[in-house]
Amino acid sequence: MRRRPVPTFRELMKVAEVTFKDNTSGKRMREIEKILRKHHAYSGLTPQKATAILEDLGPTFVKMGQIASNRSDIIPKEYADAFKALRANVSPVPFSVIMETIEDSLGHPWQETFTEIEEDPLGSASVAQVHRARLAQGGQSGERPVEGTAIEPGPVVAVKVRRPNVVDQMAQDITLIKHVLALADLAHVSGGIMLTLGGLVDELARTTAEEVDFCVELGNLERFGRELADQPQVESPYPYAEVSTDEVLVMEYVDGPPINDLAALRAQGDDPEALGRRLAESYVTQVIDNGFFHADPHPGNILVREHAVVWIDLGMTGSLSSSERAIVGKLFASVAKGDAFALKDALLALAKEHGPVDHGRLLEQIGALMASYASSDLADINVGTALLEVIEVLRTQNLTLPPSLTMLARGMMTLEGVLVDIAPKASVVGIISDHVRRQMFTLDAFEAKAKELFAASTASAEALTRLPTQVSNTLDMIDRGQVKVGADLHMPRDLVAALYSVAGTVSLALISAGLFVGSSLISQTNMQPKLLEVPLLGVLGYLGAFVLGVYVIWRTLLTRHQQRNDEKVE
């Protein structure tokens, strides 16, 4: 019978630390255990069972499942797909509680800022619910109306109010999950989803902390508005920062049908095909040009108002650094060219290793994946699906991409699902290719290429300076017998000797050619010191190439001469 490994001191300390931080009441623990028993979780998990458990555990776990659905690189793809079905709407908070939260946030009665707030919510989700309201004319600038004067109605707004106690509840639930994982690790539970939940929970703690703080979403709205200013007929709600806080967000109310409501769009004179192309162009611009994109582009978050596409609900966004955008551009370019080597290099530049990587097998997997798309028409390629397939390949090789890239993959897949309904002829791949091509001819792109070329030239020159020393050291080690190659090929000794001789001659010839080419490159530079207006390093390289070349010729002639003598003796 196999014995269970003894827990290490590190594992014991990890459990103790999580236990010490866990201030959650035993009542919540019993609630969770009851739900787990209800779904027979201890007998094994399936994607459908895990989804049902998250729903019964409450709003916090629903939100966790929704975020986890974007991380198919950390959790198995079948779980990520199942979590997409988690409901977005939950039972609304009583209106009296909403009003109390608004007044606590404002620091005064709500009537001093709003002329009216509708009781029925526009939507109720796991973190917040939204109500339609109207600002007072003075309220929109943060000024209180003069007492006794009539309050003039202002613009119609959407008021997003955070659910009471959701921050504490989420923190407690995350601590509970960490506790369970620490105990599972202590018991050496292996296999399935438990192995990958640790990294996911850390990310959830970081992501949800931003999503429950509406100051973050306020900043997203402000930045999105600035960057959409250059995109004609593409908008986002205007935020009212002066009356917004970390638990109440006030923004412009957008009245318009969802972008996939074809009947409503045609009724107001819009062309769904044109809207779809504009939508795709906007999303690609967000990703490739701005590096800041909407991470949840489902139809409910994309409305149409006065022939303009309006992005709403900026609670979940993705960001790409300039270096990540450049690598993403190379990634798409390599896919367009069908270059598996370039795609592998681009992915490895972005990915993080969590274990051994079989690079040969990885290249084979990427090549097979690209071959499956080689016969497809450019317009028929689904970028989101392709990216998710790439992520799945990387996961088999202990590699994960940054969260922003997995969010992008899910966002692309969601967006392309929208385009299938409204603009089936729109090609996201074609739009991406156009953007990447335009970026190649910008001043920034030329500057980046120049820096890259300079860095490569410097590295090559440095390697060239070390080459003679490395060759000399290698030859010395071979001469002293410190470098040996063992093989049992069962070949005649004369043949083995001839092979060694040929290999040695070819190696020296290659070294001579390399020195000549490298010296020619160096001679074109202004490297100091110089000899007869030629860099001294280049002169030494030419000299080395000449000596090795003469030696190779002499050795070849000598070997041929000995061969003829042996033939005469025979």
| Length of the chain measured in residues | 570
Residue 124 domain-assigned (yes or no): no
Last residue of a domain, one of 147, 182, 211: 211
Q: Is 313 helix (H, G, I), strand (E, B) or coil?
A: coil
- pLDDT of res. 262: 93
Q: Is 277 helix (H, G, I), strand (E, B) or coil?
A: helix
Q: Check whether 158 has a pLDDT greater than 60.
A: yes
Average pLDDT rounded to a whole number, residues 496-503: 63
Residue 128 domain-assigned (yes or no): no
Q: Check whether 191 has a pLDDT greater than 50.
A: no
User: Are 203 and 280 part of one and the same domain?
Assistant: no
Nearest alpha-carbon partner for 294 in 213, 235, 248, 209: 235
Task: Please tell me the distance from the alpha carbon of residue 98 to that of residue 159, in angstroms, as a whole number.
Answer: 10
- Which comes out higher in pLDDT, residue 334 or 165? 165
Residue 550 domain-assigned (yes or no): yes
User: Are 513 and 405 part of one and the same domain?
Assistant: no
Q: Identify the weakest region by mean pLDDT among 14-23, 286-295, 452-461.
A: 14-23
User: Are 315 and 422 part of one and the same domain?
Assistant: yes
To the nearest 10°, report the CA torsion of 150, 155, 156, 160: -100
User: Are 345 and 412 part of one and the same domain?
Assistant: yes
Average pLDDT rounded to a whole number, residues 88-117: 90
Q: Is 400 left (phi over 0), alpha (psi -120 to 50) or beta?
A: beta
Q: Check whether 356 has a pLDDT greater than 50.
A: yes
DSSP type of residue 297: -
User: Are 533 and 501 part of one and the same domain?
Assistant: yes
Residue 409 domain-assigned (yes or no): yes
Q: Check whether 319 has a pLDDT greater than 60.
A: yes
How many alpha carbons fall within 13 Å on the CB side of residue 441? 4
Last residue of a domain, one of 196, 211, 226: 211
User: Are 328 and 457 part of one and the same domain?
Assistant: no
User: Are 363 and 500 part of one and the same domain?
Assistant: no
β-bridge partners, 162 = 128
Radius of gyration of the chain (CA): 33
- Which comes out higher in pLDDT, residue 392 or 476? 392
pLDDT tier for residue 129 given thresholds of 50, 70 and 90 = very high
Task: Please tell me the distance from the alpha carbon of residue 541 to that of residue 463, in angstroms, as a whole number.
Answer: 13
**Backbone angles phi and psi of 402, in degrees to 5:** -55, 150
Task: Please tell me the distance from the alpha carbon of residue 567 to that of residue 570, in angstroms, as a whole number.
Answer: 5
- Site of tokens 């402000």: 222
Residue 534 domain-assigned (yes or no): yes
- Site of tokens 């860099």: 535
* Residue 507 identity: S
- pLDDT of res. 530: 74
User: Are 305 and 400 part of one and the same domain?
Assistant: yes
User: Are 267 and 377 part of one and the same domain?
Assistant: yes
- pLDDT of res. 282: 94
- 117 neighbors 133 (Cβ within 8 angstroms): yes
Task: Please tell me the distance from the alpha carbon of residue 222 to that of residue 207, in angstroms, as a whole number.
Answer: 19
- pLDDT of res. 219: 94
Residue 131 domain-assigned (yes or no): no
* Residue 133 identity: A
Task: Please tell me the distance from the alpha carbon of residue 474 to that of residue 468, in angstroms, as a whole number.
Answer: 10
Domain of residue 329: give its range: 256-441
**Backbone angles phi and psi of 562, in degrees to 5:** -65, -35
β-bridge partners, 556 = none
Q: Check whether 459 has a pLDDT greater than 70.
A: no
Q: Answer whether the bond into residue 529 is a cis peptide, omega within 30°.
A: yes
- pLDDT of res. 249: 96
- pLDDT of res. 238: 95
Task: Please tell me the distance from the alpha carbon of residue 561 to that of residue 83, in angstroms, as a whole number.
Answer: 77
Residue 113 domain-assigned (yes or no): no
Q: Is 347 exposed, middle or buried (0-12, 13-18, 19+ CB in 10 A)?
A: buried
* Residue 223 identity: R
User: Are 425 and 452 part of one and the same domain?
Assistant: no
Residue 464 domain-assigned (yes or no): yes
Residues 6 or more apart whose CB falls under 8 angstroms from that of 269 comprise 307
With pLDDT > 90 as the criterion, what percentage of the chain qualifies?
23
Please report the DSSP string for 413-479 in residue order.
Answer: HHHHHHHHHH-TT--HHHHHHHHHHHHTTSHHHHHHHHHHHHHHHHHHHHHHHHHHHHHHHHHHHHH
- pLDDT of res. 109: 93
User: Are 284 and 425 part of one and the same domain?
Assistant: yes
- pLDDT of res. 344: 86
Nearest alpha-carbon partner for 260 in 303, 208, 291: 303
Structure tokens, 112: 């001093």
Residues 6 or more apart whose CB falls under 8 angstroms from that of 24 comprise 172, 173, 175, 176
User: Are 380 and 510 part of one and the same domain?
Assistant: no
- pLDDT of res. 564: 67
- What pTM value is reported for the model? 0.65
Q: Is 72 exposed, middle or buried (0-12, 13-18, 19+ CB in 10 A)?
A: buried
Q: Sheet containing 302-305: which strands, arranged edge to edge?
A: 234-235, 308-311, 302-305
Last residue of a domain, one of 393, 419, 441: 441
Domain count, the chain: 3
Q: Is 565 exposed, middle or buried (0-12, 13-18, 19+ CB in 10 A)?
A: exposed
- 329 neighbors 437 (Cβ within 8 angstroms): no
- pLDDT of res. 157: 96
